[in-house]
Amino acid sequence: MTAPVFLVEKVPGPGETVLDGPEGRHAVSVRRLRAGEDVVLTDGRGRAAEGEVVATEGKDRLVVRVTAGRTEPEPVPHITVVQALPKGDRGELAVETMTETGVDAIVPWPAARCITQWKGERAAKALAKWRATAREAGKQSRRLRFPEVTDAMTTKQVAELLAGADLAAVLHEDRVADSVPLATAELPAEGRIVLVVGPEGGVSPEELTVFAAAGARPYRLGTSVLRTSTAGTAATALLLGRTGRWS
Q: What is the mean pLDDT of the chain?
A: 94
pLDDT for the residue 178? 72
Alpha helix ranges (H) inside the chain: 21-25, 90-101, 120-140, 155-163, 205-213, 228-243
Q: Which CATH superfamily is domain 5-71 in?
A: Hypothetical PUA domain-like; domain 1 (2.40.240.20)
pLDDT for the residue 1? 65
Is the pLDDT at 222 greater than 90? The verdict is no
pLDDT for the residue 172? 85
* CA distance linking residue 138 with residue 135, whole number of Å: 5
Output the pTM of the full model: 0.94
User: Is there a common fold for 5-71 and 78-243?
Assistant: no
Q: What is the pLDDT of residues 84-114, one digit of tens each?
A: 999 989 999 999 999 999 999 999 999 999 9
* CA distance linking residue 121 with residue 116, whole number of Å: 14
Structural domain spans, the chain: 5-71, 78-243
3-class secondary-structure state, position 10: coil
3-class secondary-structure state, position 33: coil
* CA distance linking residue 228 with residue 36, whole number of Å: 44
As a whole number, mean pLDDT of residues 64-90 equals 96
- Single out the residue of 45, 38, 33, 167 nearest to residue 104, CA to CA: 45
Q: What's the helix, strand, coil split of the chain in %, to 5?
A: 30, 30, 40
* CA distance linking residue 124 with residue 38, whole number of Å: 36
**Inter-residue contact 162 to 168 (CB < 8 Å):** yes
pLDDT for the residue 57? 92
**Inter-residue contact 109 to 156 (CB < 8 Å):** no
* CA distance linking residue 78 with residue 70, whole number of Å: 21
As a whole number, mean pLDDT of residues 222-232 equals 90
Cross-sheet strand order for the sheet of 167-171: 148-149, 105-109, 78-84, 192-197, 167-171, 217-220, 180-181
Is the pLDDT at 2 greater than 90? The verdict is no
Question: What CATH number should be reported for the domain whose range is 78-243?
Answer: 3.40.1280.10
Q: What is the pLDDT of residues 156-191, one digit of tens each?
A: 999 999 999 999 999 987 655 578 899 999 999 999
Q: What sign does the dihedral 111-113-116-122 (CA atoms) show?
A: positive
